[in-house]
Each structure stands twice: as structure tokens, then as C-alpha cells.
């Protein structure tokens, strides 16, 4: 079998989409990564392409990767398709390929599985999915050697914009570039350690479409329907502070506290965001390029763009003073000198 593994420059969904359309899909596939939405899409698209919908239950098997045995895998793969071009077998959430031991497949059976992957029948497409991959495992190496591996990470900015635009268009709606940018920023899709995924975005887009009666999606719709995350709210607070809109900053703070957010977590995020702004400010003054900043900071370019927006509103000296205030407030809370919510209010009043 040809080894068709691909560089990260092109997203996995584009590669697999092209291969499905050209009917050149390998019969051993491994999908992993943080974008479950795209992994689910890829599996369903393959099933629709190769399996007769009328006989789906006979030709598509979904095996639980946490409890599957080698015999179950082999028996399902060996079963011939019925009135369909291929039989598709899915092993979902297969922890063994992540390097986690299975109670149902011992070491000897794993060797048998590795050997079996080299002789998969042509009538079968075997798809393995997992959250991550242990690239040291012989199972991963066998899939890499005999099949195709696809990492479904987050979409790049242009692909995300295209996805949002197409979703609105499909529903008879339109959105200006500024509104789409607002959706991306409010959602926090690119924020560090966020759990906001395309599943969340898909649901939020549906809510925005239902909320908006006009053809054009309005900024108000975004504000009222995009769920976003804590990082986004903290950025909004910093934005309010940078424009001396302290009432807005207090409003954001009180909303976060009333929703149960932890004061220490809020303070840590404020420190992290201002540290990024300071780092970008210093690197800009040193003449470093955007690519150099991205490499040094090791964060997504969208986060750099968001933070860079504030660099013209603060001097290096003022940013250092703000960070010192945050560090001192953190110390005062931990030593019992200040009550956490009061300390955060004092911070806003003194900026």
C-alpha cells in the first residue's frame, strides 16, 4: 500500500476531502486531534461515499476502542460488503494507539493486530480515531507505514472564515468581514487552553441565524448568541480598561464572578494577557517581525494579533506597573490582606 502521509501545511480535512472526491482513499486510516467535529465529518463522508445508505447497518461497523478485541477487529474487517463498494469499520477512541494499555488486547494480540494491518482485505476501509497518538508505539508505526495518518488540529484563520461564511450562506444569511472577525474573537477559538471547538461554533452559528431575522447577521446577534470563553471576557475587560471605560470593566468582572468564575483564575489570566501584551510591545520596539514573535511566544497568530491591538495604548513602563499591581494583589489575597473580589475591583479602579 502506498504511504500517503502529509505535511502539516495543508489541513487534514482538505487532504481527505480531495482524496474522497478522487476515490483514492487508503483502506487503513488514522484520524486524531482536537477537532472532533472534523473527524466525525471525515468518517461520515467516507461512509456516504463507499457504503450504500440502504445497507448502512450491514456495511458500517462502529467498535468501541476502549473495549474492542483483536478478534472483533479481524472478524469485522473480513466480513464482505453487501451491495456496497466497501465495508467500513470504525474503531473509535482507540486508547491503545495513544500508548494506553488495554484490558482487552494484550501485548501478543497487539503484535497480531500490527501484523494483520499489513494484510487488510481490499474490500474493507478500517478507520481508527483517537485524541492523540503515541508515535513511539509499534501500532502507530504500523499505521503510518501501511496507511494514512491525519491530524485534525484547529482550522487556520482563512479556513475558519470560509467555514463561517459558508454556514451563513447555506442558511440564506450574510455577514460582513467585521462581524465574522467579531465571531472569531468572541468565541475565543484560538485562545490558549480553550475547549471551544467547531462543535461549539456550529451551535453558536445556529443560534445567531435563529436570532437574526434580517439577511445580514448583526453585531448584536453575535453578542447575544456566541458563548465564548473566559479568555475572551478577560480580553474584553482589558479593552475596556485601555479605553478608560471602567464601568464596562466592572460590569464584565461582576458578570464573571456571579457566574462562578474563580478570582485566582481571573487574576492569573489578567497577568498572562498583560504579559503577552508587554512581550509583543518589547519585541515590536526591538524590530522583530510577526513571524519571529509567533516563534518566540509559541502561541497562535490570532492571539498575537489580539494582544498587539493593545500595544499602542500602553507604554512599556505602564505595562510593567500594571503587572506589578497584579502580582502584589495576588500576594495580598494569598496572605489574607484583601478579599479576592474586592482586590479585583481595586485593581480596576487603580488602572
CA-to-CA distance for 147 and 139, rounded, in angstroms?
11
Closest CA to 125 of 85, 83, 69, 96: 85
Instruction: Report CA 246 to chain centroid distance, whole Å.
Output: 32
CATH of 230-350, one of 1.20.272.10, 3.40.50.300, 1.10.10.10, 1.10.1050.10: 1.20.272.10
CA-to-CA distance for 168 and 174, rounded, in angstroms?
6
What are residue 150's DSSP bridge partners? 31
Instruction: List the alpha helices (DSSP H) in the chain.
Output: 12-21, 36-50, 56-59, 70-78, 107-117, 138-146, 157-170, 177-187, 198-211, 219-225, 230-242, 246-258, 263-285, 290-297, 301-308, 316-334, 340-350
Asked whether residue 4 carries a pLDDT value surpassing 60, the answer given is no
HSE-CB of 22 using CA atoms within 13 angstroms: 9
CA-to-CA distance for 338 and 332, rounded, in angstroms?
6
Averaged over 319-337, what is the pLDDT? Answer: 92
CATH 1.20.120 fits 157-225, yes or no: no
The confidence band for 279, taking pLDDT boundaries of 50, 70 and 90, is very high
Asked whether residue 116 carries a pLDDT value surpassing 60, the answer given is yes
The confidence band for 5, taking pLDDT boundaries of 50, 70 and 90, is very low
- Supply the pTM of this predicted model: 0.73
3-state secondary structure (DSSP) of residue 162: helix
CA-to-CA distance for 69 and 105, rounded, in angstroms?
6
pLDDT at 16: 97
User: Could you read off the pLDDT of 125-142 as tens digits, one per residue?
Assistant: 999 999 999 999 999 999
More confident residue, 78 or 312: 78
**DSSP secondary structure of 179-235:** HHHHHHHHHTTTSTT----HHHHHHHHHHHHHH--SSBPPHHHHHHH----HHHHHH
Burial class, 107, CB count within 10 angstroms (exposed 0-12 / middle 13-18 / buried 19+): exposed
pLDDT at 7: 41
Joined grid coordinates for residue 114: 500490527
Contact 164, 183 (CB under 8 A): yes
pLDDT at 259: 78
Q: CB neighbours of 231 closer than 8 A, spacing ≥ 6?
A: 188, 191, 192, 194, 269, 273
Joined grid coordinates for residue 31: 484520524
What residue segments make up the domains of the chain, in order of their start?
12-151, 157-225, 230-350
pLDDT above 70 covers what percent of the chain? 97
- Quick one: DSSP state of residue 311? G
Q: In terms of CATH, what superfamily is 12-151? A: P-loop containing nucleotide triphosphate hydrolases (3.40.50.300)
Asked whether residue 144 carries a pLDDT value surpassing 90, the answer given is yes
pLDDT at 222: 83
CA-to-CA distance for 226 and 296, rounded, in angstroms?
31
The confidence band for 304, taking pLDDT boundaries of 50, 70 and 90, is confident
The confidence band for 229, taking pLDDT boundaries of 50, 70 and 90, is low
Averaged over 220-225, what is the pLDDT? Answer: 78
Q: CB neighbours of 69 closer than 8 A, spacing ≥ 6?
A: 104, 105, 109
How many Cβ atoms sit within 10 Å of the Cβ of residue 218?
16
The confidence band for 286, taking pLDDT boundaries of 50, 70 and 90, is very high
Averaged over 68-75, what is the pLDDT? Answer: 98
User: Could you read off the pLDDT of 151-203 as tens digits, one per residue?
Assistant: 999 999 999 999 999 999 999 999 999 999 989 988 888 877 778 899 999 99
The conformational region for residue 235 under phi > 0 = left, psi -120 to 50 = alpha, else beta, is: alpha
pLDDT at 152: 97
pLDDT at 231: 74
pLDDT at 8: 47
The confidence band for 6, taking pLDDT boundaries of 50, 70 and 90, is very low
CA-to-CA distance for 274 and 312, rounded, in angstroms?
13
Mean of per-residue pLDDT scores for the chain = 91
Averaged over 114-122, what is the pLDDT? Answer: 97
User: Could you read off the pLDDT of 22-71 as tens digits, one per residue?
Assistant: 999 999 999 999 999 999 999 999 999 999 999 999 999 999 999 999 99
Q: CB neighbours of 350 closer than 8 A, spacing ≥ 6?
A: 325
User: Could you tell me the CA-to-CA distances from 58 to 13, 44, 249 in Å, in that order?
Assistant: 27, 15, 58
Amino acid at each position: 500500500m502506498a504511504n500517503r502521509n502529509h505535511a502539516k501545511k495543508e489541513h487534514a480535512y482538505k487532504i481527505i476531502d480531495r482524496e474522497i472526491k478522487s476515490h483514492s482513499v487508503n483502506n487503513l486510516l488514522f484520524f486524531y486531534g482536537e477537532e472532533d467535529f472534523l473527524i466525525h465529518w471525515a468518517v461520515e463522508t467516507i461512509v456516504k461515499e463507499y457504503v450504500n445508505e440502504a445497507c448502512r447497518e450491514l456495511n458500517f461497523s462502529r467498535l468501541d476502542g476502549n473495549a474492542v478485541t483483536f478478534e472483533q477487529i479481524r472478524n469485522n474487517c473480513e466480513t464482505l460488503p453487501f451491495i456496497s463498494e466497501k465495508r467500513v469499520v470504525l474503531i473509535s477512541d482507540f486508547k491503545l494507539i495513544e500508548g494506553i494499555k488495554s484490558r482487552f488486547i494484550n501485548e501478543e494480540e497487539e503484535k497480531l493486530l500490527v501484523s494483520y494491518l499489513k494484510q487488510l482485505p481490499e474490500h474493507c476501509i478500517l478507520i481508527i480515531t483517537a485524541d492523540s497518538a503515541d508515535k513511539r508505539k509499534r501500532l502507530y508505526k504500523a499505521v503510518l507505514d501501511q496507511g494514512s495518518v491525519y491530524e485534525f488540529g484547529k482550522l487556520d484563520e482563512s479556513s475558519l472564515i470560509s467555514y463561517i461564511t459558508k454556514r451563513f450562506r447555506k442558511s440564506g444569511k450574510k455577514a460582513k468581514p467585521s462581524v465574522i472577525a467579531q465571531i472569531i474573537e468572541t468565541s475565543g477559538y484560538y485562545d490558549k487552553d480553550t475547549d471551544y471547538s467547531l462543535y461549539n461554533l456550529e451551535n453558536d452559528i445556529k443560534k445567531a441565524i435563529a436570532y437574526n431575522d434580517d439577511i445580514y447577521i448583526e453585531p448584536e446577534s453575535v453578542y447575544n448568541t456566541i458563548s465564548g470563553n473566559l479568555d475572551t471576557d478577560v480580553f474584553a475587560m482589558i479593552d475596556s480598561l485601555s479605553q478608560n471605560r471602567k464601568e464596562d470593566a466592572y460590569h464584565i468582572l461582576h458578570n464573571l464572578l456571579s457566574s462562578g468564575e474563580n478570582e485566582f483564575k481571573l487574576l492569573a489570566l489578567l497577568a498572562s494577557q498583560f504579559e503577552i501584551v508587554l512581550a509583543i510591545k518589547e519585541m515590536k520596539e526591538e524590530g522583530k517581525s510577526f513571524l519571529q514573535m509567533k516563534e518566540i511566544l509559541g502561541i497562535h497568530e490570532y492571539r498575537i494579533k489580539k494582544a498587539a491591538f493593545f500595544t499602542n495604548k500602553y507604554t512599556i513602563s505602564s505595562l510593567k506597573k500594571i503587572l506589578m499591581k497584579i502580582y502584589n494583589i495576588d500576594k495580598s489575597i494569598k496572605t489574607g490582606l484583601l478579599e479576592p473580589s474586592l482586590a479585583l475591583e481595586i485593581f480596576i479602579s487603580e488602572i
